[in-house]
A and B are shown apart, each in its own frame.
Chain A
Amino acid sequence: MASYNTNEFKSGLRIMLDGDPYLIVENEFVKPGKGQAFNRARVRNLKNGRVTDKTFKSGESVEAADVFEIELQYLYSDNEFWYFMDPTSFDQHQADESAVGETIKWLKEQDVCVVTLYNGSPLIVEPPKFVELKITETDPGVKGDTSGGGSKPAILETGAVVKVPLFVPEGDLVRIDTRTGEYVGRVKE
């Protein structure tokens, strides 16, 4: 089984603690002049996102978590699972609701997502930084008002609700920054 010594600790490393995969966010060397040296690590539980401080005796080894990120293409959902495909190997992966989480509202078929695999199964699905989605419902556009100012809510094809400028009509394709959930611009088809 792969493991890491505490002297290899650095942010970004994935380790197993109490049966859960964790990400090391920060690592600090702490040592009294006389006495045991420690590594205090700030770690994030990859399953629930919770951040805690854990301290290890320096020199000890910790089991490595079988966690890595790959790019997968979103195929479809049967509302129980969300199916993804590796575009190079054509391997399929199914993610459950907890893995997809908030990403659900940005998921459009064919889009490529970064998926964190834990023991081979999707643990976290991250949406692309920008997605292009069609407006399925919004108030009629105000012609000529292209200077901005006001905004209105719009429902997108994935069900997400975003704020768009008043002039943007139903049926338009818009570009959204998924990190902030904000409208970036219109996309010409």
Chain B
Amino acid sequence: MRASLYRSIREFFEHRGVLEVETPMMSSAGNTDPHIDSLGVANQQAEDPRWLRTSPEFPMKRLLAHEPEPIYELGRVFRAGESGRQHNPEFTMLEWYRPGWVMQPLIDEVLCLLRCCFTQVDQCPDIQQHDYVRLFNGVVGVCPIQSSDQDLASVASQHGLMISESDRATCIDYLMAMQVQPALTDGALHVISRYPADQAALARIDPDDHSRSLRFEVFFGSIELANGYDELCDADQLATRFKQENQVRVAMNKSPMPVDHRLLAALEHGLPACSGVAMGIDRLLMCLQGAEMIAQVINFTEEFA
């Protein structure tokens, strides 16, 4: 199943003229995202530490800055401490970039690829497109942009979140993961787009509405499959986000991560306007096989590796 899925993915991109690339798994830079922990390589000399990639995003963007061609990579990524029913610390990610594309054509291409995959198991899931804010508001009855921190915190704690201090981002993540996602219709593909600006990650802020970002996610039922952006291409803004993220890491008692200066240099040189998306392939296999646990689609999960 895994082998035939890889074959379909490669055929899909070959037909569309998207080039397969390979980028390093070990990098001198880590991920500054406060909620993603990079794994360090233990045998590396102390003066030149290396980190296992948490996604191929940064080197792929450097390739795009060098030559604006559509590219994809299918490979293993690593995230410390992520282990559970839908998580394994190493997993397979498909990531691709479309120079010159805005968000909607990329969403359409993601859905097209997913449809191809589901056709092979004789399924044709419905597709539902949602606006993030409208969906969130509809399910939990509170606006993720306009509501006060206190309102969000009280709704989150009504729904069973135990927190010592109210933190807006945590409440939003919680309500999204525990209330909104489970409310998505089973067996259908859901696209949720235009995330609030403070949930932008590495997406551009919507130039027409500064409260929103050009970010989307794709779910099959409640299972998160893909995350995509109309990419942030501004080196200064990206440098600022890296810095802020490292400050958050320090505040969380986590060590700050070495920033990818080569990526920042590439952006200064010029990253073409582009959209990109990352898809969890093990999760996709779960959905295609109707598996409940990621361990059903990975031969040797963490505890047996």
- Interface residues of chain A, those whose CB is within 8 Å of chain B, are 7, 17, 28-38, 40, 52-60, 62
Tell me which residues across on chain B come within 8 A of A59, comparing CB atoms.
252
Contact B176 A32 (CB under 8 A): yes
Q: Is B275 an interface residue (CB 8 A)?
A: no
CA distance A62 to B162 in the complex (A): 10
Contact B178 A40 (CB under 8 A): yes
- Interface residues of chain B, those whose CB is within 8 Å of chain A, are 33, 35-36, 81-87, 160-164, 169-170, 173-174, 176-178, 199, 201, 217, 224, 227, 252, 278, 280
Contact A33 B280 (CB under 8 A): yes
CA distance A35 to B83 in the complex (A): 15
Contact A36 B227 (CB under 8 A): no
CA distance A110 to B236 in the complex (A): 78
- With A33-B280, A35-B35, A38-B178 as known contacts, state yes or no: A57 contacts B163, CB within 8 Å: yes
Cβ 8 A contact of B84, one of A28, A52, A60: A28
Tell me which residues across on chain B come within 8 A of A60, comparing CB atoms.
164
Tell me which residues across on chain B come within 8 A of A57, comparing CB atoms.
163, 170
Q: Closest chain B residue to A53 by CB distance?
A: B160
Contact A33 B162 (CB under 8 A): no
CA distance A31 to B82 in the complex (A): 8
Tell me which residues across on chain A come within 8 A of B83, comparing CB atoms.
29
Contact A36 B170 (CB under 8 A): yes
Cβ 8 A contact of A34, one of B86, B164, B199, B252: B199
Contact A32 B160 (CB under 8 A): no
- With A34-B199, A52-B160 as known contacts, state yes or no: A29 contacts B174, CB within 8 Å: no
- With A29-B83, A55-B178 as known contacts, state yes or no: A35 contacts B162, CB within 8 Å: no
24 A-B pairs whose Cβ atoms sit less than 8 Å apart in the complex: A17-B162, A30-B86, A30-B178, A31-B35, A31-B84, A32-B224, A33-B224, A33-B227, A33-B278, A34-B36, A35-B176, A36-B35, A36-B173, A37-B81, A37-B82, A38-B173, A38-B177, A38-B178, A52-B160, A53-B160, A55-B161, A55-B162, A55-B178, A56-B162
Beyond A29-B84, A30-B178, A62-B162, 17 additional pairs, beta carbon < 8 A: A28-B85, A29-B83, A29-B85, A30-B84, A31-B84, A31-B87, A32-B173, A32-B176, A34-B227, A35-B35, A35-B176, A35-B177, A36-B169, A54-B160, A54-B162, A57-B163, A57-B170
CA distance A65 to B248 in the complex (A): 31
B77 → A minimal CB distance (Å): 11
Contact B224 A29 (CB under 8 A): no
A169 → B minimal CB distance (Å): 54
Tell me which residues across on chain B come within 8 A of A7, comparing CB atoms.
81
CA distance A30 to B33 in the complex (A): 17
Q: Closest chain B residue to A59 by CB distance?
A: B252
CA distance A55 to B161 in the complex (A): 5
Contact A35 B84 (CB under 8 A): no
Tell me which residues across on chain B come within 8 A of A30, comparing CB atoms.
84, 86, 177-178
Tell me which residues across on chain B come within 8 A of A58, comparing CB atoms.
81
B126 → A minimal CB distance (Å): 23
Tell me which residues across on chain B come within 8 A of A53, comparing CB atoms.
160
Tell me which residues across on chain A come within 8 A of B217, comparing CB atoms.
33
Q: Closest chain B residue to A17 by CB distance?
A: B162
Tell me which residues across on chain A come within 8 A of B36, comparing CB atoms.
34
B28 → A minimal CB distance (Å): 23
A65 → B minimal CB distance (Å): 15
Q: Closest chain B residue to A62 by CB distance?
A: B162
CA distance A55 to B171 in the complex (A): 11
Tell me which residues across on chain A come within 8 A of B33, comparing CB atoms.
34
CA distance A125 to B224 in the complex (A): 45
Tell me which residues across on chain B come within 8 A of A56, comparing CB atoms.
162
Nearest first, the 4 closest Cβ-Cβ pairs linking A and B are: A29-B84, A35-B173, A36-B173, A34-B201
Q: Closest chain A residue to B215 by CB distance?
A: A34
Tell me which residues across on chain A come within 8 A of B177, comparing CB atoms.
30-32, 35, 38
Contact B87 A29 (CB under 8 A): yes
Q: Closest chain A residue to B283 by CB distance?
A: A33
CA distance A55 to B182 in the complex (A): 15
CA distance A168 to B82 in the complex (A): 60
